[in-house]
Amino acid sequence: MKSVLILGAAGQIGQLVTKNILEQTNLNVVLYGRNVSKRLNNLSDERVEFVDGDFDELSKLKQAMAAVDMVYLSFVGWGDLTQNIVSMMDELGVTRYIAANIPDIYDEVEGPFKAWYQAHTKEIHTGGPQAAAKIIEASDLDYVILRITWLYDEPGNTNVHVTRKGEPLRESQVTREAVARFVTDLVDGKQNYHRESLGLGESDTDWDKPSFY
């Protein structure tokens, strides 16, 4: 049975993805993060393995990765962490990598949302997130980078609009539930994207700022 390693599993989207996988697929899950065995004991299942560790514990991280078929990084990893993950995956022969990131790493945010977004992110999108994407794109991994716009919660709302690299991203918001649904479909093969950088937003939200601000 195939298995997926979720890095940053204690985050909100990581937990939603884990629940989706357990309920809707036959995949095994390895959950990696600080004290996840205690923090996520509500997710205990015969298909779940907990690995308590920090991301600078490279030997532990590599061991957790050794027996999986794919890796999902559920937060924005900057250059050093990304390089460590890519190097480990290459060494271990794990090829499928799904990594969260933020918009505007290609200057792709357009429309009314651009001014508000850049004011609230400053220059972060030209720093670590951009460097991480470059490392992934230069690798030979079967990757999907997810450039996720401003997040909010709305159970049941899985509306997601996907844009490819080179296309403008105008959506101001998207639900965590929609992102988790999309990630679940990627790891289960229902979404067929490979070696792509995708923007994720909610349809018809090309506003000057998210609705909850």
pLDDT on residue 135: 97
* pTM greater than 0.85 (yes/no): yes
**pLDDT over 90 (residue 5):** yes
* 119-133: pLDDT as tens digits: 998 877 778 999 999
Q: Which domains does the chain have, with CATH numbers?
A: 3-201 (3.40.50.720)
Average pLDDT of the chain, as a whole number: 96
Distance from C-alpha of 173 to C-alpha of 81, rounded to nearest angstrom: 27
* 131-150: pLDDT as tens digits: 999 999 999 999 999 999 99
Phi, psi of 147 (to 5 degrees): -90, 100
pLDDT on residue 79: 84
Distance from C-alpha of 174 to C-alpha of 161, rounded to nearest angstrom: 9
Cα–chain center distance at 109:
19
* 68-110: pLDDT as tens digits: 999 999 999 888 999 999 999 999 999 999 999 999 999 999 9
Of all residues in the chain, what percent carry a pLDDT higher than 70? 100
Mean pLDDT confidence for 29-37 = 96
pLDDT on residue 24: 95
Mean pLDDT confidence for 16-25 = 97
Which tokens sit at 39?
């923090």
